[in-house]
Structure 1
Amino acid sequence: MTTRIPLVPASFFGIVLGLAGLANDWRAAHLAWGLPAAVGEAIFALAALAWLVIVALYALKWLVAPQVARDEFGHAVQCCFVGLAGVATLLIAQGAQAFSRPAAVVLFVLGVAFTFGFGIWRTGHLWRGDRDPATTTPVLYLPLVAGGFVTATVAATLGYPQWGQLAFGCAFFAWLAIESVLLHRLYTAAPMTPALRPTLGIQLAPPAVGATAYLAVTGGQSDMLAHMLVGYALVQALILLRMARWIAQQPFGASYWAFTFGATALAGAAIRLSMVPGETAMAALAPFLFGAANLLVIGIAAGTLWLFCAGRLLPKPGPAAQSATR
């Protein structure tokens, strides 16, 4: 009898980011507009369940198919998704704060340790150079930029805003440095292959998640920098919409969850800013961004469920993986 264990790629942690981001949007929408609080809590419960399942399956992959896990860990593009394990844990810590502060603190410490441990290790490897420009994609933001901004947000949520400001600085300047490299590649090198194009969805995340982090570490003040971050995120969203047909040459798959975290962060930042007295621009934009984030996450979740039911969600394992899962 053959038992096949799903070999979950690290990129599946993006599912947790999208669901947790939408849960945070609904929590903010409850405060801003009085929408049902139960919706946000239900989505967070789904995010927590997804996190538990993906953590368990990803850890199991290292036991039953260590060569597959090592190949992913050393891959020029796929390796950066490994950093999302820590980011996803941080987001679950943020959501858990409403139910158990001790549990939230433990998850926060674990998430920070993994996020920065992996991020520093991977960045040190990248600094050695000798990298194929074709492998330069927005996944480079994931280890330190996404990790730093989310660390800043959760640290402030747990009552450690000064530590959050340190993490914000790490993420902010890493983002500016990496973006210059990435845009040079996009402007001057060969076009991305279709398989890599969905990673462009991550391009929306740094300014949007950065805006969320900035609001968290500054106590939610509406100022020039907050508007700058949201404004740049809006431009990224419009550029991605303009490129949608080109990106969609890659058939739909779990990789499209890359669009969800930035979209939900943009909506969340706008909702939080809309609650500041006298904030007219964000008050006008927030409902539309909230609606768009919901449609995007629901659509991608429905497509993912359809792929799962059709048996097409997970990549086909190679010979080594097949032998390990028997």
Structure 2
Amino acid sequence: MQTMAAVTKQRSIGSIQFLPVNLFAAVMGISGLSLAWRQASQLFSVPTIIADISGMIAILLFIVLGIGYLWKWALYPHKVKTEFMHPIIGNFYGTIAVAILLLSSIVGVYSKHTGQVIWIIGTISALVLCFVFVTRLLNGNFEPVNKVPASLIPVVGTLDISVAGGTMPFPWAHEINLLSLAVGGFVALVFFTLIFSRLIHHAPMPTGLTPSMIIMIAPFEVGFLGYTNLEQRIDSFASILYYFGLFLFVVLFFKVFRKSNPFGASWWGVSFPMAALSNAALKYAMFVDSWLLIDVSGIILVLLSLVVVILFIRTTKLLFSGNLLKQ
């Protein structure tokens, strides 16, 4: 009877073969939330309890999703290969590398050596994925309609190397951070131009991909964080990156957050760019020390927190209703 009940429950939840790789964006968003609240503890003198709890959730979620996706790979390798080779879905594999890099910063708070090992793994993963996706682009036969905002994820992964590794003690870390900013920055510029052209000159994206438009702010806010970590200062160039990302977020906010856009796992694509914006806003507010910018950073942090909580609740409901892990 217990076996039958377990089988029935498994069927009601769905099949592991339909586990979407874009769920790793949830780890990115929750990790970014943890890092934002840790910065907020310095600016607003709030306890680090929210940062600690969200950080633990991000770590556990990555472990669960990692085991789940390895299981999927073992049972349905053809599905994993098909997804990886897909011109749009394949980009979401970059979320795994970004998640690892962000988790290195979270774990590093409790164990510097473990955080450094995780950063090295994330760095290698991000650079390899960026190489693969840039190579694909140069293979030819490229369909402009397939260049969607999610294409920026592997590029953002490269930029995140310097975000998480700005304080790494290794003698070679500085050059790796420079490499990541050089590759990520210039490739992001190319991809951003292609995506912008696609959005202007071609038909609107499917509603399921509309939330991913927020990803377009990520290169600017992640670039701001990576650049300022490397230079250990905020100059005019960094300010320009931050302000353009903020402007673009306001523009895209009213296009993305509409009731007409159906909810799905792809909605987690809004969480990490918003987390990057929140971290950048907090860092910039501490530098400028302006009450207006401090208020703006607080508003963005609250908005990010609400979005992550709502996404978590709705995804959990989607899972147990059997609609998350189904074709």
TM-score by length of 2: 0.90
Q: For the structure 1 residues 279 and 170, does the alpha-carbon distance in structure 2 shift closer, same or farther, using more than 3 Å as the test?
A: farther
For 2:31 and 2:281, the matched residues in 1 are separated by 17
Kindly provide the amino acid, as one letter, of the partner of residue 149 in structure 1.
L
| Correspondence 1:297 to 2:308 | yes
Residue from 78, 81, 91 that aligns with 1:80: 91
Structure 1 position 29, deviation (Å): 0.5
* Matching of residues 12-161 of structure 1 within 5 Å: 12-143=23-154, 145-159=155-169, 160-161=173-174
For 2:259 and 2:238, the matched residues in 1 are separated by 31
For 2:146 and 2:130, the matched residues in 1 are separated by 17
Kindly provide the amino acid, as one letter, of the partner of residue 275 in structure 2.
T
For 1:229 and 1:315, the matched residues in 2 are separated by 40
Q: Give yes or no for contact 1:199–1:258 (8 Å, CA) kept in 2.
A: yes
Structure 1 position 222, deviation (Å): 2.8
- Can you list the C-alpha shifts for 1:2-21, whole angstroms capped at 9, x where unaligned? 56652322111100000000
Report which stretch shifted further, 209-218 or 253-262: 209-218
For 2:179 and 2:116, the matched residues in 1 are separated by 18
Q: Give yes or no for contact 1:97–1:158 (8 Å, CA) kept in 2.
A: no
- Can you list the C-alpha shifts for 1:139-194, whole angstroms capped at 9, x where unaligned? 11111x21111101111132444432321121111111111111111111122122
| Correspondence 1:184 to 2:194 | no
Residue from 220, 225, 228 that aligns with 2:237: 225
- Can you list the C-alpha shifts for 1:287-316, whole angstroms capped at 9, x where unaligned? 111111111111212211221232222232
Kindly provide the amino acid, as one letter, of the partner of residue 199 in structure 2.
L
* Matching of residues 162-311 of structure 1 within 5 Å: 162-219=175-232, 221-244=233-256, 248-276=259-287, 278-279=289-290, 282-311=293-322
> Whose RCO is larger (CA < 8 A, sep 6+)?
2
Structure 1 position 50, deviation (Å): 0.7
Q: Give yes or no for contact 2:281–2:297 (8 Å, CA) kept in 1.
A: yes
Q: Give yes or no for contact 2:20–2:265 (8 Å, CA) kept in 1.
A: no
Residue of structure 2 equivalent to 1:323: none
Q: Give yes or no for contact 2:286–2:294 (8 Å, CA) kept in 1.
A: yes
Kindly provide the amino acid, as one letter, of the partner of residue 313 in structure 1.
L
Kindly provide the amino acid, as one letter, of the partner of residue 200 in structure 1.
M
Kindly provide the amino acid, as one letter, of the partner of residue 147 in structure 1.
G
Kindly provide the amino acid, as one letter, of the partner of residue 256 in structure 2.
A
Kindly provide the amino acid, as one letter, of the partner of residue 222 in structure 1.
I
Structure 1 position 248, deviation (Å): 4.9
- Can you list the C-alpha shifts for 1:218-248, whole angstroms capped at 9, x where unaligned? 22x2321222111111121111122136x65
Q: Secondary structure at the match of 1:130?
A: coil
Q: Give yes or no for contact 2:213–2:256 (8 Å, CA) kept in 1.
A: no
- Count of paired positions: 313
Q: Give yes or no for contact 2:274–2:304 (8 Å, CA) kept in 1.
A: yes
Query: 4+ residue runs of structure 1 moved beyond 3 angstroms?
Result: 1-5, 159-162, 247-250, 277-281
Question: Unpaired segments of 5 or more residues in structure 2?
Answer: none
User: What's the RMSD between the two structures over aligned residues?
Assistant: 1.8
Structure 1 position 201, deviation (Å): 2.3
Q: Give yes or no for contact 2:214–2:270 (8 Å, CA) kept in 1.
A: yes
Report which stretch shifted further, 129-138 or 33-42: 129-138
Q: Secondary structure at the match of 1:276?
A: helix
Report which stretch shifted further, 277-286 or 80-89: 277-286
Q: For the structure 1 residues 255 and 206, does the alpha-carbon distance in structure 2 shift closer, same or farther, using more than 3 Å as the test?
A: same
Report which stretch shifted further, 19-28 or 57-66: 57-66
